Amino acid sequence: GAVVSQHPSWVICKSGTSVKIECRSLDFQATTMFWYRQFPKQSLMLMATSNEGSKATYEQGVEKDKFLINHASLTLSTLTVTSAHPEDSSFYICSASTRRNSNQPQHFGDGTRLSIL
Amino acid sequence: EDKVVQSPLSLVVHEGDTVTLNCSYEVTNFRSLLWYKQEKKAPTFLFMLTSSGIEKKSGRLSSILDKKELFSILNITATQTGDSAIYLCAPILSTSGTYKYIFGTGTRLKVLA
């Protein structure tokens, strides 16, 4: 149980393109989803927390106009990297929790490797 | 500023060896600490520790938390090549009515046959 599916797994695109990444909870309702970014040999950095039906909460230093997050249903959250540039190239991972403000373990998707040329 | 330090950063051992991975933290509003194993893709959950001094075990893996000294350790006995991965610790802290994880940089473990 508690499977999180992330799509696509790998994206290569030109600079200036906007890229949408989907995160779905397959067998549970995810009240809260989290978006992380991971650079090579570095840790996961939380970018934002999204609660179903409300605006996402962004971490300090993360541009909300650059990284648009939508969590319109209990099983789907999307991250759109707008006008992507080479410095946005990274590994993006989503995770989901079954309860809002939960202390329980998050379940992670397999991640999306984004490469901007 | 919240800080999580894992050591060693990397480790190479032979099958059958025992390893101890360390995680020290300085965070505000600490709630619990989790350990994850990350191979090529998504981190997979290993342990959640909330109370000090209570060891959690799962097969060859065990972990314990010391909330007074602000650290946790993850032990792996009789290591196998399949244990090769990055091990991440993540204290959970509560902030502004929500919970969030602060991940350490991880320990990269390589087990040689």
The residue among B101, B102, B107 with the most chain A CBs within 10 A of its CB, best to mutate, is: B101
Instruction: Determine the pLDDT at residue A102.
Output: 57
Residues of chain A whose pLDDT is less than 50? none
pLDDT at B38: 92
Burial of B88 (0-12, 13-18, 19+ CB in 10 A): buried
Q: Rounded CA gap, A98 and B56, in Å? A: 23
Alpha-carbon span B2 to A39, nearest angstrom = 19
Identify the residue among A3, A51, A57, A106 best suited for mutation to test binding to B, counting B beta carbons within 10 A and taking the highest. A106
Structure tokens at A78: 């999307």
- Which one, of B101, B6, B10, B97, lies nearest residue A108 by Cα? B101
Residues of B in contact with A99 (CB under 8 A): none
Question: What pLDDT is recorded for position B112?
Answer: 97
DSSP 8-class letter at A56 = P
Q: Please tell me the predicted confidence (pLDDT) of residue A51.
A: 83
Cis peptide preceding B8, ω within 30 of 0: yes
pLDDT in tens, chain B (113 residues): 889 999 999 999 999 999 999 999 999 899 999 999 998 778 899 999 999 999 999 999 999 999 999 999 999 999 999 999 999 999 998 877 678 899 998 999 999 99
* Percentage of the residues of chain A whose pLDDT score is greater than 70: 95
Q: In this structure, what DSSP letter does residue A105 have?
A: P
pLDDT in tens, B87-111: 999 999 887 767 889 999 899 999 9
